[in-house]
Structure 1
């Protein structure tokens, strides 16, 4: 812990970063890139295109809610004192990686509610998606570890 910073501030910083990172992964990376720009999949592909777009709308709203929630927590931490930016950055990257890993393993592989892309060999896409998630988790974890040591 940074001298003069409470456990509560560290927990709020961590929660803020995790929420913000997961929200950015959901709203910006997954929804904007894969759903809207590339049109590779929707959040729920096991029904009609209308249902898929409707579920994407709810997914989009939830992703932004989580992002804004993380920003409100960050504003609260900032209002109460100085933000440990290395810790927050590590938490953001960890949240991003955790969301992508959850999506890649649970939604793509276990529940099969959508795949990254259709009509192609998925192995390369899965390795990049899940591997990228694991790299983000490792980098975020390293930054979080360094932020503890910095204190």
Structure 2
């Protein structure tokens, strides 16, 4: 099943399509981070600068925010689809841009600026983990940017919202 269809008789909403999907992409990446790295691997909690109970609470709050973002994104996406104004091409770009944006924000702001947590503790060289995490984020952003440029080329520079 695709993300929707661009109907020629309905003006597509390129910006809203990209925004809705970016919200979904960011929420999905937050879910992957929280489930894989926080729960399954147990490498860190969202906030590791306190007790384990506070770390667990912070993971629950992250999970709550991720679920709210996922629901909000799908509500916006469903509304666009219902009205026939979803731009599938822009939504695909937004999904990758949202996922990469979340991951890069987490890797730079949460890990390095705010020092809420690191990717992994007790390893001899954290740089490798940082480079892989942020490199993957940049790859997602680059792929999203390429799709966004292609989407704009297909739909044209007109006044689609």
Q: TM-score range by the shorter chain?
A: over 0.9
Is the contact between residue 18 and residue 92 of structure 2 (CA under 8 Å) also seen in structure 1? Answer: no
Which stretch shows the higher mean deviation, 109-118 or 77-86?
77-86
Give the CA RMSD over aligned residues.
1.6
Deviation at 1:87, TM superposition (A): 1.3
Post-superposition Cα deviations, 1:22-77, rounded to whole Å, max 9, x if no partner, equal: 000112x1100100110000000000000100111011000111111110000000
Equivalent residue, structure 1, for 2:25: 21
Equivalent residue, structure 2, for 1:147: 151
1:93 to 88, 93, 96: 96
2:44 match: secondary structure: coil
Q: Which runs of 5+ in 2 are unaligned?
A: 1-5, 156-161
1:58 match: secondary structure: helix
Deviation at 1:2, TM superposition (A): 8.3
With the length of structure 2 as denominator, give the TM-score of the two structures: 0.88
Distance in structure 1 (CA, Å) of the matches to 2:146 and 2:7: 17
Q: Which runs of 4+ in 1 moved over 3 A?
A: 1-7
| Number of positions where the alignment pairs a residue of Structure 1 with one of Structure 2 | 149
Equivalent residue, structure 2, for 1:104: 107
Q: Which runs of 5+ in 1 are unaligned?
A: none
Equivalent residue, structure 1, for 2:14: 10
**In proportion to residue count, which structure has more helix?**
1
Deviation at 1:4, TM superposition (A): 4.9
